[in-house]
Amino acid sequence: MPRWKPDARQRLVVAALGLFAEQGYDETTVAQIAERAELTRSTFFRHFSDKREILGAGQQALSRLLDEGIGAAPADATPMAAVAAGLARASGGMTAFNRSLGPLLHAAIEANEELRSRAAMKNAGLAAVVVEALERRGVAEAAARVAAELGVLAFRIGYSRWTDPARDEDPGELADLTLAAFDELRAAAAELR
């Protein structure tokens, strides 16, 4: 085994998600993940405290980008416009690597109840970040929560469309897909009156 190869964290994430999808989350060990990534167990533990943490990889960066985008929106922006700014900033931070993980992530989550629960907690965490960012802008709590939930759902829809392996054509930019989903949700919410 080579002593050093670049991108250890990314390789560990890809290895783990592949194994979770192939053999199940519960059956996958840290040793197997490290071996597939051609790394040692100690390298795994330098990047993650346990295999559960792999699903949260990138959560802090995504939360920070959402917060920054909302904070950078013009002072007179509506709550929905501020959320759109956060979505654009967060989506713009995604790379081809993030796109390649989509199908693996989806397969792993769908195959395991614990991973589905962790994904739901991750979404709740993102919504909480959006609520806090909107409240700092003076948005009332109820309006902030509605805008946050729509924003997180739009991000999930946009990401799903962006990473869908069944699409024959290039899906385009994640930000465009996420903002289109946000517009669709806003229109659907307006019809609920």
Domain boundaries, the chain: 8-54, 58-190
Out of 3-7, 116-120, 159-163, 168-172, give the one with best mean pLDDT. 159-163
The pLDDT value given to residue 106: 85
As a whole number of angstroms, the distance between CA 24 and CA 3 comes to 29
Closest CA to 25 of 102, 101, 104, 111: 111
Q: Could you tell me which of 44, 73, 67, 27 has the C-alpha nearest to residue 148? A: 67
Assign domain 8-54 one CATH number from 1.10.1740.10, 1.10.3720.10, 1.10.10.60, 3.40.50.720: 1.10.10.60
Contact 13, 44 (CB under 8 A): no
Which three-class secondary structure state does DSSP give residue 77?
Answer: coil
pTM: 0.84
Question: Taking the alpha carbons of 32, 35, 40, 44 in that order, is the dihedral positive or negative?
Answer: negative
What pLDDT digit, counting tens, does each position of 124-148 carry? Answer: 999 999 999 999 999 999 999 999 9
Query: Which pLDDT score, from 0 to 100, does residue 65 have?
Result: 95
Question: DSSP string covering 167-178, please?
Answer: --S----HHHHH
The predicted-structure confidence for 163-183, as pLDDT tens digits, reads as follows 988 876 788 899 999 999 999
Position 108 pLDDT exceeds 90: no
pLDDT digits (tens, 9 = 90+) for 55-96: 777 788 899 999 999 999 999 999 999 999 999 999 998 888
Average pLDDT over the chain reads 90
Q: With 60 as the cut, is the pLDDT of residue 1 above it? A: no
Which superfamily is assigned to 58-190 in CATH? Answer: Tetracycline Repressor, domain 2 (1.10.357.10)
